[in-house]
Amino acid sequence: MSTQSDLAETNRLEAFSDGVFAIAITLLVLELHAPKLEEGQRLWPVLLDEWPQFAAYLASFAILGIMWVNHHSMFRQIQRADRGLMFLNLLLLLWVTLLPFPTSLFAEHLEDRTSNGHVAAAVYSATLTLAAIAFSLIWWYVLRHHLVEHTMSKGEIRKSLLRYSVGTVIYAATIGFSFVSPQLTLVIVFLLALYYGFEQVRTRGGTA
């Protein structure tokens, strides 16, 4: 049974996480700069040439936005927060706050046909994979420590853990795919974010 004090605990953890997500998603814009034009140079084609910056911005915005929605859905099911949960949540937030850096790296090398393009894409995919692992660890932890609000059957538990594992494996696969095509990797992680936006692990009915 969830007491007043436990709820306050979860609320402050969620509020802190919301703050970090909101700041990370807004800081992404700092990687976009008004281009310095030379005398007589036209702005429009220069902006179009910056498309990798905008594409990487859009992908990271979508990924962080949907991670926030899913973090939110997950924590709605958690009734108590203990110190272990706080640390696993910090681990997740580590990758969330880091994301503007690989985003900038990826954007810089998105059109780079040398191995640098592959390395930048792999660093980006690896960050997402580490975030997916942190999500899985949180879910595994709350199930193991009975911090979930509702009772779940063994089948439901196994199914929910399986879905997180599959997600992690798919993200890990994008690291490998980075060495095939950085640009396709960006498309894939963007589509994956959209997919997770609509099909998240549900362990009970509800509006979100």
Interface positions, 16-35, toward its own copies (CB under 8 A): 16, 18-30, 32-34
Q: How far apart are CA 7 and CA 81, in angstroms?
A: 8
Give me 28's structure tokens. Answer: 């992404």
The dihedral formed by the CA atoms of 164, 144, 159 and 202, expressed in degrees to the nearest 10: -70
97 binds its own copies (CB under 8 A): yes
The single residue among 63, 78, 105, 192 that binds its own copies, judged by CB under 8 A, is 105
191 binds its own copies (CB under 8 A): no
8 Å CB contact between 146 and 138: no
132 binds its own copies (CB under 8 A): no
Given the complex with its own copies, which of 65 and 165 has the nearer CB atom?
A: 65
Q: Give the contacts of 121 (CB within 8 A, at least 6 positions apart).
A: 106, 109, 110, 178, 179, 182, 185, 186
Q: How far apart are CA 204 and CA 35, in angstroms?
A: 49
Given the complex with its own copies, which of 135 and 196 has the nearer CB atom?
A: 196
Q: How far apart are CA 142 and CA 73, in angstroms?
A: 14
Q: Choose one: 59-67, 151-159, 162-170, 181-189; the region binding its own copies (CB under 8 A).
A: 59-67
Given the complex with its own copies, which of 98 and 165 has the nearer CB atom?
A: 98
Q: How many residues bind its own copies (CB under 8 A)?
A: 68
SS3 call for 204: coil
> What ranges in the chain are assigned the alpha helix state H?
4-27, 43-49, 51-76, 83-98, 100-108, 115-144, 154-177, 182-198
The contact pattern for its own copies, residues 63-92, with x = CB under 8 A and - = no contact, is --xx-xx--x---x---xxxx--xx--x--
208 binds its own copies (CB under 8 A): yes
Residues of this chain that interact with its own copies (CB under 8 A) are 5-6, 8-9, 12, 14-16, 18-30, 32-34, 37, 42-44, 47, 57-58, 61-62, 65-66, 68-69, 72, 76, 80-83, 86-87, 90, 93-94, 97-101, 104-105, 107-109, 114-116, 119-120, 123, 197-198, 207-208
